[in-house]
Amino acid sequence: MLITGASSGMGREAAILLAREGHRVYAAARRMDRMADLAGRGVTAVELDVASSDDNERVVNQVVEGEGRIDVLINNAGFGLYGPVEEVPLGDARYQFEVNLFGVAHLTQLVLPHMRAQGSGRIVNVSSVGGKVFSPFGSWYHATKHALEGWSDCLRLETAPFNIQVVLVEPGLIRTDFGDVAADQLRKYSHGAYRASIAPLLRMRDNPRVMDRGTKAEVLAEVFLEAATADKPRRRYVKGMLGRPALFIRKWLGDGIYEFTLRLAIR
């Protein structure tokens, strides 16, 4: 199986766990230096930028040539671009889609012919609770995850006749460097007209009492394992701090109450 975004966080822990369970795992990421120890854990590390078509083709070919097949693709690579819609350059927004959606799409297009030929396969797309809800200044990130949700649901119907399953994993707040990257992006835009609104978000991000309560990446690795290997996987797996409460509030109490809850949380 091939898992992207495996140099840290959920992807790394999932790659290690899957290999420990006896699976042949190719762990892909841009930062090869952070995967140097994976060989000793039974994982094959490969360099991959999912926004590069050449990289995607090279890595899929490497897996198929090395194993003779590809049974599982876990699309985990992604990042969060945060900032006001008014101020985030559209070039940055397009790159957010290149990584979080079109990179997923291209890798999926590359593996599907092999899965159809072998008569089975599974695509696990790592979305987010943010694919169902929303938060301040996360417009471009949430847009990619909302798109990934709908894209994956359509794909599930298309590939079912070929015995290819499509599964979504929707993490909540997880202890990874995702939040640090998102906060760095937000700080770039904290000096203009939206400064007063951004400041509480940054204070919350810098508060260890809040962020240390996030779910450990190892917990999500267990979810990845089930999503990738269960005989009858769910369509969606929700796991992580605040994930289910956020979904419940928006679905059953409505957008007004959900937005009121957000304002209380970040004031």
DSSP state of 244: H
169: three-class secondary structure by DSSP: strand
Residue 170, beta-bridge partner list: 238
Cβ atoms of residues 25 and 3 within 8 Å: yes
Which pair of tokens denotes residue 114?
């092999």
CA-closest candidate to residue 238, choices 176, 146, 178, 173:
173
C-alpha separations of 205 from 31, 130, 180, 208, 252 in Å: 25, 17, 8, 8, 28
Catalytic residue among 26, 82, 95, 141: 141
Active site residue 141: yes
E-strand stretches of the chain: 2-4, 25-29, 43-47, 72-75, 121-126, 164-171, 174-175, 215-216, 236-239
- The CA distance from 160 to 120, in Å, is 10
C-alpha separations of 9 from 48, 119, 175, 219 in Å: 16, 32, 8, 11
DSSP state of 7: S
CA-CA-CA-CA dihedral for 91, 92, 97, 103, to nearest 10:
90
Residues annotated catalytic, as ranges:
141
